Amino acid sequence: MSRPLPHRSSSMADKSESTHGGPNSTKEDGPKGGEDDFVPSKLGTKQYWDEAYQTELETFRDIGDVGEIWFGEQSMGRVIRWMEKAEIPKNASILDIGTGNGVLLVELAKEGYTNLTGIDYSAASVALAKDVLQAEDLNNISVKEVDFLSGSGELKDFDVCVDKGTFDAISLNPENTNEVRIRYVQALGDALKEGGYFVITSCNWTKEQLLQRFCSGFEFVQQLPTPSIQFGGKTGNNVTALIFKRLH
């Protein structure tokens, strides 16, 4: 279980289509702009992710490559180091929102966390994550095909919810853009228990924007350090990682 998984590192900014005002804009246009700069994109559609994960599922079954790891391995290490410093119990209930290929679940399991759940609205993602977990002999992790925004009440009482790029993706939904962002915050409040933690990593949202989005029902805890970039004589971050706590 200690062998590294073959993979490719990526973020929303690495995709060929605009995710924040232009192609690869978080890298080429410098630090992130205002919320109004978001441009609707196919990256915010279920069809895009169904097709993407179907391709990655076929690739994994063919050559064993798990596909892209959003924001790279360092982003997973960043989350795990925070959990260790925060003394999150090993049996804490942890939800991976938009689990993708399930690699974060693998890494959490390697660190001894035992109560893990991954969800994704793409059936191909769920199939891929299950295959990856099975290849690592991890058979006690729950992975479900669930739309986080469905409001079904199925997800609740989690100690920790982790989002690594999912809020970025749904924020680009071409239809009902603001509504899906609001529904995400509501769904998060339903999924977390009082005093539970939310860990979000984003390449599209600034700290200030995320603080505004999650100002109701959540308390800001801390910002995790991420690599800095220089642009036009200014230094900024193309990745933001924040911790929130759910209030009552």
Compute the distance between CA of residue 229 and CA of residue 66 in angstroms, rounded to an integer: 28
> What residues contact residue 179 under an 8 Å CB cut-off, 6+ apart?
none
Determine the pLDDT at residue 72.
Answer: 82
Q: From first to last of its 248 residues, what are the pLDDT tens digits of the chain?
A: 344 454 445 544 444 333 333 223 333 333 455 555 578 889 999 999 999 999 999 999 999 999 888 788 889 999 999 999 999 999 999 999 999 999 999 999 999 999 999 999 999 999 999 999 999 999 999 999 999 999 788 899 999 999 999 999 999 998 888 899 999 999 999 999 999 999 999 999 999 999 999 999 999 999 999 876 554 555 556 899 999 999 98
- Whether the Cβ atoms of residue 244 and residue 198 lie closer than 8 Å to each other: yes
